Chains A and B, each alone.
Chain A
Amino acid sequence: MSDEPLVRVRGLEKHYPITEGVLRREVGRVRAVDGISFDLRRGETLGIVGESGCGKSTAATTLLRLEEPTGGSVLFDGEEVTAFDDGELTRFRRRAQLVFQDPASSFDPRMTVGESVGEPLVVHGMRDRDRRRAIVEDLVERVGLSAADCDRYPHEFSGGQKQRLGIARALVVNPDLIVADEPTSALDVSVQAEILRLIERVQDEFGVAIVFISHDMGVVREVCDRVAVMYLGEFVETAPTEDLFESPQHPYTRALLSSIPEPDPRRRGGGVELRGDVPSPSAPPSGCRFHTRCPDVIQPSGLDLPQPAWRAVVSFRHRLATRGLDLAAAREFAAAERGVDPGAVDDDAVAAAVRDEFGIPPTLPDPGAESTLAAALEAVLDGDRPAALDRLSGTFETVCREVEPGTHPTGTGHEAACHLHDPTVDAEPPWRDGEPVDREPESAVDG
């Protein structure tokens, strides 16, 4: 065993083209995985967490070259996976295996589970039936079932048992790397605990490295050595598991952690609430991709608004710059609220309705900011969107929107891709280092 990591991923990308017309002209790209980098040592478990649609599963399939990456490099044991020819790829796949989320659909219902578990051996050229059988029986017993189960069919097993078999199938070729894509998400909590124990044991016995993909932070905390938090195709923070949970350094990680419902009725509510959904990866926001939802988005120097009001203004500006506002709808809403005809609503009322929609206070405490915002709103109501954006861009510029953040060291040793940790940016994280997130004072966030 050397110090060289088993897997070294640098700038891995998977973009799906969006095409149009018979000529399949490319009109855009879905940036499912957009430049992720990490190292994985032998016997280590790396967790990848994030919301659905953030690119976790694509990262897994691209890593194993089940889908061709569109950029970046994957070094496996010093060899470039992206340059493998077919023969090399087959050999690579013997050493890297995948465990799927849904154990029910990952077994052929017409094959006995013994045949299914032994199939990778056939694929990799083991012709000796008796030897295959011996290996399969041994493994099936090691994952907690009995050798006699090999002759039964998948429908005779419960979900947890099928997942045990799925793990046995991954282990049958004695791999160095297993990528487990949400292996416990389809299981009940009591069964989930069994599978987690099994994965731990397997790792001790076989010394295999695992990439563990999950949306469940609790599960990740239990099995992983290190965790990477993924948002819109990028890693925003990578840290040893306990560091990440004890002192998360990226606002997204903090929001994710505080969203986990805690099984303690005396610690309710509070926490950071993220409004809105993950933006589409086909048009990721500029600058920091999280700035459209980030509760801690940075204010320009010279401006000192209450953070919720500032957040609301940034959301308003983002909407105006992307989809634009539906003024007729705002007018109708204002009319319904006042109980009058839409024609009879004056511009002030519509402006108030727009402010209300985004959670912007009726007047901003900073007079300069307020006059800019009021002027911009007026321009919007006149139908002059470019002028409104122009007005906003001067006063309400944020580094989070302008500049893509690099990874910066944080106070706790690990790195995070956030401007709050950038020494050249005049802003400090609003939280103290080492302070766990679980229940901070409530902050209103709009998005």
Chain B
Amino acid sequence: MSRTDPLLRVTDLHTRFRTDEGVVRAVDGVSFTVRAGETVCLVGESGSGKTVASESITRLISTPPGEIEADSIYFKGRDLATLPTSQLRGVRGGEIAHVFQNPQGSLNPVYSVGWQLVEAIQLHSDASRSAARERAIELLDRVGIPEATARFDDYPHEFSGGMKQRVVIAMALAGEPDLLIADEPTTALDVTIQAQILRLLGDLQAEFGMAVLLITHDLGVVAQVADRVVVLYAGKVMERGSVYDVFEAPAHPYTRALLNCLPGRGKRSQPIGGSLPDPIEPPPGCRFAPRCPYAVDACRAGDQPAEYDVPADPGDADGEGGADHDRGGGSVDAGQSGNGSAGAGRSLPGDEVDHVASCVHYGPGGDPSVVVDGGRAREESDGPTGDGPGGAAGGGSGKPTDGGSGGPAGDGRADR
């Protein structure tokens, strides 16, 4: 593995479940990378496919009814997508460890935590019983269990929720993983305990040099720990970028809407309205289009828009738009990159150096100011309070054509 290669590169992951009602496309073409030592957050609401995506990496999804398909899942130079189960078992819990939401469910109630920890250690190394015990106590102490030696023979029910999650993290560390996949590790915990666990994860990451893939619905947690963020919605990637890009210049209308729902930030939280699309027969075009206030006709046809580069300063985008005001299917097709003059073509799948958004307004001929300025105008007027997305859609739909016809051809985004 060369130095520039990421630790994990997931390309075009599809996970489907066959049910009596039809095929549920829980994850529908998701790509992302995790580099050594960094924290990547998969963020989304329930039903966005974030958990399924994370569990597909080590194939924890039971098949059937699940079906996992991916171009590739490269981890340290191997393709986990084609790795036989026997070898995959060594990766699970060893090089890639999981921590789940509910610590109660991750521990066996009839064995002491020490016993379980020793088992985890001996599974991944040839340590003797006494060496494993010593290492287990060390780990318990490292994750902040007070009086680790004394608690070694205690059973899971004798620990509080936060302490149990620490034990689970200690078990995850037993295999000295390169990648820790933590799925909502703090959701079941109180906010004071959550702060402890997040701090612990950060310290451990620095100490052991692990990469962390954190799955969460909580944007506050994301902002506190992430290096990079992947925003998922209905099985598709909506936006990805560095944590600063995503929080300070959110590009995709969904990301912006999600940030606006957060309560207690001074401004009144604004609901998104509508509901998740049907996972069996998702609507054509962008998955978010039915709830998006900026949706135009192009959003409702074809495939999910490709991932387009987001201009560094969205403010500069005013008045641009390029010569191409044909907003037909061509610019929306995920498979086609933009034309040369626009220069904002599709980035490589999974290549996450840049800030990208899967939205036609950032595509060739699109005008990001529709989303950025439209959002500003909406925020100033305190936004529509109605629940239906339909009423707000009218405001955005006229604008791209205006911007397109007025702007000089070929400048603006082409400079990037």
In the bound assembly, the distance between CA atoms of A215 and B190 in angstroms comes to 8
Residues 210-260 of B contacting A (Cβ, < 8 Å): 217-224, 226, 243-244, 247-248, 257-260
A262: B residues at CB distance < 8 A: 220, 223-224
Residue B122 is within 8 A (CB to CB) of chain A in the complex? no
Residue of B nearest to A327 (CB): B150
| A257 (CB) vs chain B CBs: closest residue | B191
Q: How many residues of A contact B (CB 8 A)?
A: 51
Q: Is A277 an interface residue (CB 8 A)?
A: yes
Do the beta carbons of B196 and A275 come within 8 Å of each other?
yes
Q: Do B271 and A220 touch (CB < 8 A)?
A: no
Verify B163–A220 contact, CB threshold 8 A: no
List chain B residues, Cβ under 8 A from A333.
137, 141, 148-149
Q: Does B192 contact A (CB under 8 A)?
A: yes
> Contact: B247 with A264, CB < 8 Å?
yes
Taking a contact as CB atoms closer than 8 A, the residue among B46, B134, B147, B196 that contacts A329 in the complex is B147
Chain A residues within an 8 Å CB radius of B223: 261-265, 268
A332 and B263 form a contact (CB under 8 A): no
Q: Please tell me which stretch of A148-156, A186-194, A374-382, A396-404 contacts chain B, meaning at least 4 of its Cβ atoms lie within 8 angstroms of it.
A: A186-194
Interfacial chain A residues near B272, Cβ < 8 Å: 190, 193
A188 and B217 contact, CB distance less than 8 A: yes
Residues of A contacting B141 in the complex (Cβ-Cβ under 8 angstroms): 333
Instruction: Determine if B198 and A217 form an interchain contact, defined as CB atoms under 8 angstroms apart.
Output: no
Task: Give A337-372 as 1s and 0s: 1 = Cβ < 8 Å from B's Cβ atoms.
Answer: 000000000000000000001000000000000000
Among A52, A220, A258, find the residue whose CB has the most chain B CB atoms closer than 10 A: A52
| B387/A259 in contact, CB under 8 A | no
Q: Is the CB of A263 within 8 A of B262?
A: yes
Q: Verify if B146 is at the interface (C-beta below 8 Å from A).
A: yes
User: Residue A197 contacts which of B148, B265, B275, B385 (CB distance < 8 angstroms)?
Assistant: B385
The answer to whether the Cβ of A196 comes within 8 Å of any Cβ in the partner chain is yes
Tell me the complex Cα distance, A194–B263, Å: 11
Q: CB-CB contacts of B261-290 with A at 8 A, as 1s and 0s?
A: 111110011111101000000000000000
User: 0/1 per residue, A212-255, Cβ < 8 Å to B?
Assistant: 00011111111000000000000000000000010000000001
Residue-wise, chain B 30-58 has the 8 Å CB interface mask toward A (1 for contact) of 00000000000000011000000000000
List CB contacts (< 8 Å) of A22-69 with chain B.
Answer: 51-52
* Cβ-neighbour of A277 out of B193, B219, B264 (below 8 A): B193
Q: Is B195 an interface residue (CB 8 A)?
A: yes
The answer, yes or no, to whether B138 is at the interface (CB within 8 Å) is yes
Q: Which of B149, B191, B243, B258 contacts A256 (CB 8 A)?
A: B191
A196-B269, A197-B271, A263-B220 as given contacts; A215 in contact with B191, CB under 8 Å = yes
CB distance from A40 to the nearest CB of B (A): 22
A326 in contact with B150 (CB, 8 Å): yes
CB-based contact B138/A336 at 8 Å: yes
Verify if A182 is at the interface (C-beta below 8 Å from B): no
Chain A residues whose C-beta falls within 8 Å of the C-beta of B224 in the assembled complex: 261-262, 265, 268-269
Chain B residues proximal to chain A, CB less than 8 Å: 45-46, 134, 137-138, 141, 146-150, 160, 162-163, 190-196, 198-199, 202, 217-224, 226, 243-244, 247-248, 257-265, 268-273, 275, 385, 387
| 7 A-B residue pairings within 8 Å (CB atoms) | A188-B217, A193-B261, A194-B387, A255-B192, A262-B223, A263-B222, A326-B147
Given contacts A218-B262, A263-B219, 11 further A-B contacts (CB under 8 A): A160-B275, A193-B263, A255-B192, A259-B195, A260-B264, A261-B198, A269-B224, A325-B147, A333-B148, A357-B146, A357-B147
